[in-house]
């Protein structure tokens, strides 16, 4: 599991996750993701290269979203593959963290 | 069904998921389903590792069985009971970050079943490309269903409606579809695979039949609202259609012929049961006799027609009969060996003593033996022993012991040296670790002295002409236990009219019906009262008293007596 971070204009930060966000994947990025969520106020997570997610990975995303929300910031998920989207919707995460098809749409959500 | 143990460590989950994914992918399960399978396995394993409580090791196991259309995943563990299929879902709570696992698992798996057996939780997850909510029998499978007598005459439309009301289910090998005594909620149409019918009683579960697809099961119970008359367990992966009572009744109202067929089926089943009971009865009678006619064996081995369902049970009975017969033959030949080794009718031609010995073998050959051999014209060797164990090995060990004693006794060594040598030889060639207790004495009829030693045998009695009865010295280990041993040798001076009574523990340990032992005291008292009797009368008195005491209780061990009276 790889995590790359890129600062975009308008104070938006893009985090790109690549690989499997399974138990091992979540353990690998958890710490950096938490630090990121603690420091940023507008975060877009690009999931397009995430091949797998289950509840342990959702926990990483949920705890980041909660941390940002507690500071009045916003986080959105972008471009999940169909089977990843299925996990996001079935678990109810989609109802709590906005999910958009593209990074641009997600940026629009966090800068609104 | 491939099985993989899973460590109680979150770091093993990814590897376990990858292992399962490899199997499922190789079986040709489509990609979309495979992602769901991986999610469910991760959730189930993570839940067990994080929340499962076990007193000792959790011993988590992952089983995978897949073909192109279906994957059966089983996860079992030794944790405290937790019903994944029925546990309440945590309420959706934005503040919470966990709790989604169970929800995902129940949403993604097409069937989620929980069972508890042998102290383990067994979770079965079924994934299928066929939609379980809709009857997924393509028209091509209608002929298969029609081969079941109840459906043979049914109109197409009625049959399609009936099947459409069913729920398609898949079970992994070992899963129970029906439990004896449970209410009959539905009938089961077995579409693919084999099941075992089990009769469960307090004596355990006995397989009574094996049934292959296509077959209709449990329909009479479902129609008549009877409890399940037997349990049904999948013997491998199976596919079934569960049909509830209502649609079943509905179909009957449209197709009375089906009712007739079910009644006919019931009649056939009663007939089969009677025939099977008859065969069983004959089988058990044969078992009791220890003999089986070729014809009966053929019937058991190759049951005809519907009785084929009972084939496994019959086969076991036939095997048991054959095995019993073999054991009996072995026992009989062992008994023969034992009998032929023992001398009969040994007497003193010079009339200096009266001799008698008797052995009464228990049902399963024991290892008792006695011996009386003349070493020269006035020295007589007397022996009574007991080889531990039963059957052929004990009988053979007995033969070796008796033979060695006979050879060694003629070498003219002192008694203790002679026994040391016999023991060393027995010890050296004793792969089964058998041993023998032994009383061995040499009676010199010129000097009327008895030289003897005792290798762990119960001490014989010496009977004085004046009515006293005393135990001879005992002690020391049995033969064949230690590599080198010198047993203490004793000498006893005897008088005219004195007797010697040597016996095995089968006498004193004979049981009455209340499991009480005959005992040394009763024997000693009996012997005291027999002053002046001959050797044979002495033994017959003891045997008769043991019989009186046992009062019909089965003889558990060989009973051996050897008596000598000087005259």
| Cβ atoms of residues B370 and B560 within 8 Å | yes
Joined together, the tokens standing for residue B112 give: 């989620």
- CB contact under 8 Å between B103 and A56, yes or no, is no
pTM here is: 0.58
pLDDT band at B131; cut points 50, 70, 90: low
pLDDT, residue B136, reads 52
Q: Which two tokens stand for residue B280?
A: 């069983």
* Cβ within 8 Å, pair A54-B13: no
3-state class of A55 per DSSP?
A: helix
Cis geometry, peptide bond prior to residue A41 (ω within 30 degrees of 0): no
Distance from C-alpha of B74 to C-alpha of B61, rounded to nearest angstrom: 8
The pLDDT of residue B139? 65
Q: How close is the nearest chain B Cα to the Cα of A23, in Å?
A: 7
pLDDT recorded at residue B142? 80
Tokens of B337: 């060996």
The DSSP secondary-structure symbol of A66 reads H
Instruction: Measure the CA–CA gap between B173 and B302, rounded to whole angstroms.
Output: 26
Backbone φ and ψ for B299, nearest 5 degrees, come out as -60, -40
pLDDT at B254: 82
**pLDDT for position B547:** 93
Set of chain A residues whose Cβ sits within 8 Å of the Cβ of B125: none
pLDDT score of B291: 65
For position B286, what pLDDT does the model report?
A: 74
Q: Indicate the DSSP class of residue B358.
A: E
The whole-angstrom distance between residue B124's C-alpha and the CA centroid of its chain comes to 30
Contacts of A93 in chain B (CB under 8 A): 100
Q: How close B242 gets to chain A, by Cα (Å)?
A: 28
Q: Which of B25, B46, B100, B102 should we substitute to test contact with A (largest number of A Cβ atoms within 10 Å)? A: B100
3-state secondary structure of B126: strand
- Which pLDDT belongs to residue B21? 96
Percentage of chain B lying above the pLDDT 70 cut: 92
Question: Mean pLDDT, to the nearest integer, of B480-499?
Answer: 93
Task: Give ∠ CA B154-B156-B161 in degrees, rounded to 5.
Answer: 95
Give the pLDDT confidence score for residue B452 in this predicted structure.
96
Does the pLDDT of residue A6 top 80, yes or no? yes
Instruction: Please count the other Cβ atoms lying within 10 Å of the Cβ belonging to residue B407.
Output: 13
In this model, does residue B290 exceed pLDDT 70?
A: no
Position A46 scores a pLDDT of 97
> How close, in Å, is residue A32 to chain B by CA atoms?
18
Which residue of B lies nearest to A55 if distances are taken between CA atoms?
B101
What's chain A's Rg over C-alpha atoms?
12
Tell me which chain B residues have a C-beta less than 8 angstroms from the C-beta of A83: 32, 35-36
The DSSP 8-state label assigned to residue B183 in this structure reads: B
Write b or e for each residue in B301-310: b if 16 or more Cβ atoms lie within 10 A of its Cβ, otherwise e. Answer: eebeebbbbb
Closest alpha carbon within chain B to A54 = B39
Question: What DSSP element (H or E) covers B198?
Answer: strand B194-201
Q: Which residues of B touch A91 (CB under 8 A)?
A: 100, 103-104
- Residue B172 CA: distances (Å) to CA of B209, B237, B386, B513: 19, 4, 54, 50
The closest of B101, B510, B283, B311 to A92, measured between CA atoms, is: B101
Closest Cβ–Cβ partner in B10, B32, B42 for A54: B42
Contact A23 B46 (CB under 8 A): yes
DSSP B226: P
Reading the block at residue B229, the tokens are 């008359």
B517 forms beta bridges with B511
Task: Write out chain A residues lying below 8 Å of B43, CB-based.
Answer: 54-55
Cβ contact, residue pair A93, B100, below 8 Å: yes
Please give the mean pLDDT across all residues of chain B: 86
For chain A, how are helix, strand and coil distributed in percent, rounded to 5? 55, 30, 15
Would the CB atoms of B104 and A56 count as touching at under 8 Å? no
Question: Across the interface, which of B10, B36, B100 has its CB nearest the CB of A23?
Answer: B10
pLDDT number for residue B140: 67
Cα B95 from Cα A65, distance rounded (Å): 10
* CB contact at 8 A, B6 and B14: no
Distance CA B73, CA B111 (A): 10
pLDDT above 90 (res B233): yes
User: Could you give the count of Cα atoms lying within 13 Å of B351 in the half-sphere of its Cβ?
Assistant: 0
Residue from B42, B43, B45, B92 whose CB has the most chain A CBs within 10 Å, to mutate: B42
pLDDT of residue B421: 93
Query: Pick from B38, B94, B104: which is nearest to A91 by CB?
Result: B104
Say if residue B436's pLDDT is above 70: yes
The conformation of residue B402, written as its DSSP 8-state character, comes to H
Question: Alpha helix (H) ranges present in B61-198?
Answer: 100-108, 142-146, 156-164
Q: What is the pLDDT of residue B371?
A: 94
What digits encode the pLDDT tens for the residues B150-196?
Answer: 888 888 888 888 888 888 889 999 999 999 999 999 999 999 999 99
Report chain A residues touching chain B, CB-CB < 8 A.
20, 22-24, 27, 52-56, 58-59, 62-63, 66, 82-83, 86-87, 90-93, 95-96
Amino acid B22: pLDDT: 95
A59 interaction partners in chain B (CB closer than 8 Å): 97-98, 100
Complex ipTM, two decimals?
Answer: 0.93
Model confidence over B90-118: pLDDT tens digits?
Answer: 765 544 555 688 889 999 999 999 999 98
Question: How many CB atoms sit inside 10 A of residue B290's CB?
Answer: 15
Please give the angle made by the CA atoms of B297, B303 and B305, to the nearest 5 degrees: 160
Q: Which 3 state secondary structure label does DSSP give B248?
A: helix
Residue B511 contacts by C-beta under 8 Å, 6 or more apart in sequence? B517, B518, B550, B553, B556
Residues shown for chain A: 112
- Give A62's contacts in chain B (Cβ within 8 Å): 97
Spatial distance between the Cα atoms of A84 and A46, rounded to a whole number of angstroms = 12
The alpha-carbon gap from B74 to the nearest alpha carbon of chain A, in Å, equals: 19
From the list B14, B35, B94, the residue facing A23 with the nearest CB is: B14
- Highest mean pLDDT (candidates A14-23, B197-206, B355-364): A14-23
A13-65: per-residue pLDDT in tens?
999 999 999 999 999 999 999 999 999 899 999 999 999 999 999 999 999 99
- Integer distance in angstroms from the first to the last C-alpha of chain A? 30
Asked if B43 and A54 come within 8 Å (Cβ–Cβ), the reply is yes
Lowest average pLDDT, out of B227-236, B378-387, B462-471, goes to B462-471
pLDDT of residue B309: 65
Task: Look at residue B419 in the predicted model and tell me its pLDDT.
Answer: 95
- Among candidates B14, B38, B94 on the partner chain, residue whose Cβ is nearest the Cβ of A24: B14
Nearest chain B residue to A25 by CA distance is: B14
CA distance A12 to B525: 109
CA distance B505 to B507: 5
Mean pLDDT along residues B206-213? 85
What was the pLDDT predicted at A49? 97
Nearest CA among B455, B447, B464, B448 for reference residue B482: B455
Indicate the SS3 state at residue A44: strand
Average the pLDDT over B437-444 and give the result: 96
Q: Which residues of A touch B35 (CB under 8 A)?
A: 52, 83, 86
Q: From chain B, pick out residues whose CB is under 8 angstroms from the CB of A56.
A: 42, 46
Q: What percent of chain B has pLDDT over 90?
A: 50
CB atoms within 10 A of CB B8: 16
Shortest distance, CA A63 to any CA of chain B (angstroms): 6
Question: Would you state the structure tokens that stand for residue B63, as one six-digit string?
Answer: 């089983």
Q: Residue B98's pLDDT is what?
A: 54
Determine the residue of chain B that is closest to A95 in CA distance: B94
Region B424-439 average pLDDT: 88
- Average pLDDT on A70-79 reads 94
Residues 6+ apart with CB under 8 A from B25: B34
Mean pLDDT within B538-553: 92
Q: Which of B94, B99, B106 to mutate to test the interface with A (most CBs of A within 10 A)?
A: B94
């Amino acid at each position: 599991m790889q995590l790359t971070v890129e600062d975009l204009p308008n104070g938006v930060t893009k985090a790109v996750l690549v690989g499997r966000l399974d138990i091992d994947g979540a353990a690998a990025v958890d710490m950096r993701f938490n630090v990121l969520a603690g420091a940023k106020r507008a975060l877009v997570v690009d999931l397009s290269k995430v091949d797998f997610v289950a509840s342990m990975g959702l926990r990483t995303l949920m705890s980041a979203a909660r941390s940002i929300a507690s500071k009045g910031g916003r986080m959105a998920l972008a471009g999940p593959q169909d089977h990843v989207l299925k996990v996001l919707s079935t678990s109810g995460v989609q109802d709590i963290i906005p999910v958009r098809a593209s990074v641009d749409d997600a940026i629009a959500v966090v800068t609104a | 069904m491939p099985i993989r143990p899973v460590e109680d460590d979150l770091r093993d989950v990814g590897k376990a998921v990858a292992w399962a994914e490899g199997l499922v992918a190789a079986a040709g399960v489509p990609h979309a389903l495979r992602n769901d399978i991986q999610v469910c396995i991760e959730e189930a394993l993570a839940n067990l590792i994080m929340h499962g409580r076990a007193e000792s090791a959790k011993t988590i196991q992952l089983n995978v069985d897949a073909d192109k259309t279906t994957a059966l995943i089983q996860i079992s563990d030794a944790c405290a009971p937790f019903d994944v299929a029925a546990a309440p879902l945590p309420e959706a709570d934005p503040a919470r970050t966990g709790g989604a696992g169970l929800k995902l698992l129940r949403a993604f798996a097409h069937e989620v079943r929980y069972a508890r057996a042998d102290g383990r939780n067994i979770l079965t997850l079924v994934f299928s490309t066929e939609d379980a909510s809709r009857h997924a029998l393509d028209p091509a499978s209608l002929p298969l269903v029609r081969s079941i007598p109840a459906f043979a005459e049914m109109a197409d439309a009625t049959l399609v409606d009936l099947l459409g009301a069913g729920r398609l289910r898949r079970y992994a090998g070992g899963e129970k579809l029906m439990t004896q005594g449970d209410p009959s909620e539905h009938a089961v149409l077995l579409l693919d695979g084999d099941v075992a019918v089990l009769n469960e009683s307090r004596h355990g579960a006995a397989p009574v039949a094996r049934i292959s697809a296509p077959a209709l099961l449990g329909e009479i119970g479902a129609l008549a609202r009877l409890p399940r008359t037997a349990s049904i367990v999948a013997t491998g992966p199976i596919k079934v259609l569960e049909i509830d009572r209502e649609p079943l009744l509905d179909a009957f109202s449209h197709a009375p012929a089906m009712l007739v067929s079910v009644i006919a089926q019931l009649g056939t089943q009663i007939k089969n049961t009677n025939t099977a009971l008859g065969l069983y009865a004959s089988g058990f009678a044969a078992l009791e006799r220890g003999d089986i006619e070729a014809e009966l064996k053929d019937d058991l081995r190759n049951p005809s027609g519907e009785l084929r369902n009972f084939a496994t049970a019959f086969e076991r009975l036939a095997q048991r009969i054959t095995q019993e017969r073999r054991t009996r033959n072995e026992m009989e030949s062992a008994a023969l060996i034992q009998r032929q080794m023992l001398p009969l009718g040994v007497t003193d031609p010079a009339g200096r003593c009266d001799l008698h010995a008797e052995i009464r073998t228990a049902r399963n050959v024991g290892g008792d033996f006695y011996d009386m051999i003349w070493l020269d014209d006035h020295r007589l060797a007397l022996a009574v022993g007991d080889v531990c164990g039963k059957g052929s090995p004990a009988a053979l060990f007995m033969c070796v012991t008796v033979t060695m004693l006979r050879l060694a006794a003629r070498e003219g060594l002192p008694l203790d040296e002679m026994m040391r040598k016999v023991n060393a030889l027995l010890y050296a060639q004793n792969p089964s670790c058998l041993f023998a207790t032994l009383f061995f004495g040499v009676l010199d009829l010129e000097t009327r002295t008895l030289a003897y030693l005792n290798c762990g045998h119960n001490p014989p009695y010496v009977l004085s002409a004046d009515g006293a009865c005393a135990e001879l010295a005992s002690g020391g280990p049995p033969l064949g236990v230690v590599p080198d041993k010198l047993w203490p040798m004793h000498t006893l001076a005897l008088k005219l009219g004195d007797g010697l009574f040597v016996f095995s523990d089968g006498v004193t340990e004979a049981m009455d019906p209340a499991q009480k032992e005959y005992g040394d005291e009763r024997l000693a008292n009996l012997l005291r009262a027999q002053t002046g009797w001959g050797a044979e009368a002495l033994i017959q008195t003891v045997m008769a008293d043991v019989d009186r005491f046992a009062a019909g209780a089965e003889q558990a061990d060989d009973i051996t007596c050897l008596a000598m009276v000087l005259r």
